[in-house]
A and B are shown apart, each in its own frame.
Chain A
């Protein structure tokens, strides 16, 4: 992912407004095929303007934008837009159309005919995880999260290769947001679209992005890199500040437990790991506690599998009374334990590796060229 040919290319693009403000300042950036490029920054940094220049909702003052090698200013606006999916803040659904008709919008504009457009819309409804009975409802009858799903389905309806998403999940609560992010990643695994995603939430950017472009107020691109590179080697104090004090921990959320060594559960010491008959970890038993051991209260354990992140492992290790985390296989059966020290070591290695990753690009140029293909 994210290693494809550049699909969208910004060449020295600027956007100045008549009132003297500069929304985007001399931007050179490419977005590779099949990858999610996240544009992130505080409000007024030009990230949304940048996004909206791709489907010509905003025209640049200078510079050139190419889509699949073709200058977009030479393409008819309406035609260009029909080939680009667009998901806007708070879904932007048509309140007077049913969910199904909302999704069928672009196919209908493209002249597919009602029957074919609706069949396609039904297919997408299912694909984004909505029940078929939602089809006949109107947007105001749905929850915020459901509306967002419809927004995504609508953008995907005509199967455009490029998808623009402007803070699509900013208006829903954190739990729903996490769900929607997972769903987007799942969809992206299947569909391999070229996605440009705007957000002001750095955690969302790290979670979703194959590459993250950080913008500064005044429309300047400060750094464009993979999440790991960005977290390990921020270009300057602004980026470091934006990533937050826990950027070291955020980096750990990007790598998994898979390679970290594990050993057998302890047979001695104060804490013993209790497993059920079929080998599932149940909790830690305190052997120094009074009373008969069978009745003693267990300290709960949250077993982790190889797919869990180092951050989750660190969190578990800190919470575990024994300092050990329980490792399980896909079936939830205990495979071994890993110590706090081993996790710390792995975390340290991860940082060291990210910090000196070659990746081809010179570390953190301020005028980030952005291509790491």
Chain B
């Protein structure tokens, strides 16, 4: 009963691939939309002290809503669509993305911000060319957490038919057949690992100034 039917996996390779892609078609946009919403809100929270608590509070409350309940609540608005799944997951990413972006902006050295303004850059230009790039490592840490979290949460959306690899869990449970469940768990894990590695690579490419730093720091420690 608990043993894996290894033959089942190659027989269903096509189905598994489709489910994995479907999985990412929900998780990917969720993180992307999460970022698009979180960054502007975080900039506001960073600049307007009075709004900081409010924005961080709301995003934390969103995060505490049980996932299944959130999908049920969204059903009357967006129906049995992928949108429902994406909106739900997006809401969950906001908490970590807003918090990390605010923290990243807080950590920008004051002298760098000041130098930019004092040399005649507008606040927007300073934000885009100095503050966000310098906040990038902290923002990316949030994106990595949000991505892994979203990938693991997608399966909950199988309740509304957009669970990606989560469909395998329902399927296995209904048929009392564990092989699809194990395959789903392994593939979810694999997707999370690959996505995370991809994000690390993107960060490495986007923050060339940190490379030498890391190299120098570790060289310093070795010496």
Contact = CB atoms under 8 A, between A and B. Distances in A.
Same assembly? yes
Interface of A: 55, 57, 77-83, 86, 88-90, 92-98, 105-106, 109, 137-138, 140-141, 154
Contacts of A98: 209
Interface in B92-144: 109, 111-112, 114-122, 125, 130, 133-134
Given A109-B125, A141-B212, A141-B216, A96 B118 contact: no
B212 A88 contact: no
A97 B111 CA distance: 14
A90 B118 CA distance: 15
26 contacts: A57-B114, A57-B117, A78-B120, A81-B118, A81-B120, A88-B115, A90-B111, A92-B111, A92-B112, A93-B112, A93-B115, A94-B112, A94-B115, A94-B116, A94-B130, A95-B209, A97-B209, A105-B119, A105-B121, A109-B125, A138-B209, A140-B209, A140-B212, A140-B216, A141-B212, A154-B119
Contacts of A88: 111, 114-115, 118
Interface residues of B, number: 22
Interface in B191-221: 207-209, 212-213, 216
Closest 3 CB pairs of A and B: A82-B120, A81-B120, A92-B115
Interface of B: 109, 111-112, 114-122, 125, 130, 133-134, 207-209, 212-213, 216
B119 A82 contact: yes
Contacts of A79: 120
Of A78, A92, A93, A106, most buried by chain B (CB within 10 Å of CB) is A92
Contact of A95 (B109, B114, B121, B125): B109
B212 A96 contact: no
B122 A78 contact: yes
A48 to B, nearest CB: 12
Given A93-B115, A94-B112, 9 more contacts: A81-B118, A82-B120, A92-B114, A93-B112, A95-B109, A95-B112, A95-B134, A105-B116, A106-B120
B162 to A, nearest CB: 39
A105 B117 CA distance: 11
A92 B116 CA distance: 9
A106 B119 contact: yes
Of A57, A78, A83, A154, most buried by chain B (CB within 10 Å of CB) is A78
B46 to A, nearest CB: 18
A308 to B, nearest CB: 38
A89 B125 CA distance: 23
A55 B118 CA distance: 7
Of B130, B208, B209, most buried by chain A (CB within 10 Å of CB) is B209
Nearest to A86: B118
B113 to A, nearest CB: 9
A88 B114 CA distance: 9
Nearest to B121: A109
Contacts of A97: 209
Nearest to A80: B120
A106 B120 CA distance: 8
Given A88-B114, A140-B212, A141-B216, A96 B119 contact: no
Of A80, A92, A95, A96, most buried by chain B (CB within 10 Å of CB) is A96
